[in-house]
Amino acid sequence: MTRRKFTSKFKTKVVLELLKEHASLAELAQKYELAPQQLSNWKREFLNNAEEVFEKGPKSKQAQADEEKDKLLKTIGKLKVENDFLKDALR
């Protein structure tokens, strides 16, 4: 049996349905063929990270900094390879 993978969109849909409390945890677990514990975990994770939706600045700046760092590391690696190649060509 292979593990099923769920998109964040699907998880959000299920958690929001769970938060509406129109159906019980057991009913939703049965409806989506999931373990009740899995739904509880998704709900807990959703609620723990909900405040990040409204944060401005630090998260987006951090993401930009990470992207810039990755780009610079890639450039450094490329330049090192080129430098090593040229050193070997001079010998």
pLDDT tens-place string over residues 18-68 = 999 999 999 999 999 999 999 999 999 999 988 877 776 655 677 788 889
For range 76-84, the mean pLDDT: 96
pLDDT score at 55: 72
Nearest to 34 by CA among 79, 3, 65: 3
Compute the distance between CA of residue 40 and CA of residue 42 in angstroms, rounded to an integer: 5
Residue 69 vs residues 21, 31, 56: alpha-carbon distances, Å: 44, 44, 21
pLDDT score at 65: 84
**What's 3's DSSP letter?**
P
Compute the distance between CA of residue 30 and CA of residue 45 in angstroms, rounded to an integer: 21
| Tokens of residue 23, six digits | 């159906």
pLDDT score at 45: 95
Predicted model pTM = 0.59
